[in-house]
Amino acid sequence: MAAATTTMPSSSNRLTSAAGLLALLEEPQDALKVHGLRCLNDVAMTSQWPEVSHVGVIEGMHEDEFFSHRDLAALVASKVGAVFCARLVVSFARAAR
């Protein structure tokens, strides 16, 4: 059986939605969840953070004692929080002008 390969979007092939990656987080197999988290960590944080920011499942994965990649889930969740806070600060700064 041939192994499946995934190509990450390049600058000319931008990710337009994180929905597919977020769907992987709901799969029962940890391998699919981990793949989704890795892709979110690598790609979606740069352009699709609003979609990702509404997903509590990432925090739940970090809190799940039986999930093998809790550290990766924590990293993605912290990036979502950091990006959200940075965008919020910029928004407030622009409004204060």
Digit-coded pLDDT (tens) for 32-72: 999 999 999 887 667 777 777 767 899 999 999 999 999 99
Residue type, 97: R
What distances in angstroms separate CA 61 from CA 5, 12, 25, 53, 96, one per listed residue? Answer: 24, 32, 9, 14, 37
pLDDT band of 31, cuts 50, 70, 90: very high
State residue 94's pLDDT score.
82
> Could you tell me which residue, 11 or 65, shows the higher pLDDT?
65
Report the distance separating Cα 58 and Cα 81, nearest Å. 11
Between these two residues, 74 and 6, which has the higher pLDDT value?
74
Write the CB contacts of 22 (distance below 8 Å, at least 6 apart in sequence): 36, 40, 51, 52, 55, 57
